[in-house]
């Protein structure tokens, strides 16, 4: 199975929970993708990797790949996340942003979506 987990508002809200989940999923033979957006070029790849490792202790051993959905704004990032999920055949998507969830569901009607609420 392939699982994509968002960073801002998801991993950042409960890093220990998502580390445990990711580790368990990987140990069970699944692929875990960190799928985050970069709509305003505020978080290039190197900075995002540093954020995950330094502030959330979410090192590469907890995920298969970091994927950054680029776009000029949040709307474009949402559609890019939907495209990436479809292209990669992601089975489960975990994100706190309902606008991203709506776009992903439109493009991937059979995907299981988890919306963690804070």
Dihedral angle sign, alpha carbons of residues 103, 104, 110, 115: negative
In angstroms, rounded to a whole number, what is the distance separating the alpha carbons of residues 6 and 86? Answer: 16
83's tokens: 């495209």
Give me the tens of pLDDT residue by residue for the chain, a chain 118 residues long: 999 999 999 999 999 999 999 999 999 999 999 999 987 767 788 999 999 999 999 999 999 999 999 988 889 999 999 999 999 999 999 999 999 999 999 999 999 999 997 5
What is the homologous superfamily of the domain 2-114 according to CATH? HAD superfamily/HAD-like (3.40.50.1000)
Domain segments of the chain: what residues?
2-114
In angstroms, rounded to a whole number, what is the distance separating the alpha carbons of residues 54 and 49? Answer: 8
pTM of this structure: 0.94
Instruction: Please report, in angstroms and rounded to a whole number, the separation of the first and last CA atoms in the chain.
Output: 26
Secondary structure letter of residue 54 according to DSSP: I
């Amino acid at each position: 199975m392939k699982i994509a987990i968002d960073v801002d508002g998801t991993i950042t809200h409960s890093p220990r929970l998502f580390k445990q989940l990711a580790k368990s999923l990987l140990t069970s033979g699944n692929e875990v993708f960190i799928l985050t957006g970069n709509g305003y070029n505020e978080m290039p790849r190197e900075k995002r990797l540093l954020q995950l490792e330094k502030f959330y202790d979410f090192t590469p051993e907890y995920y298969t790949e970091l994927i950054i959905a680029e776009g000029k704004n949040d709307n474009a990032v949402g559609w890019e996340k939907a495209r990436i999920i479809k292209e990669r055949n992601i089975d489960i998507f975990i994100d706190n942003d309902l606008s991203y969830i709506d776009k992903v569901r439109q493009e991937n009607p059979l995907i299981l979506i988890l919306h963690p609420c804070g």
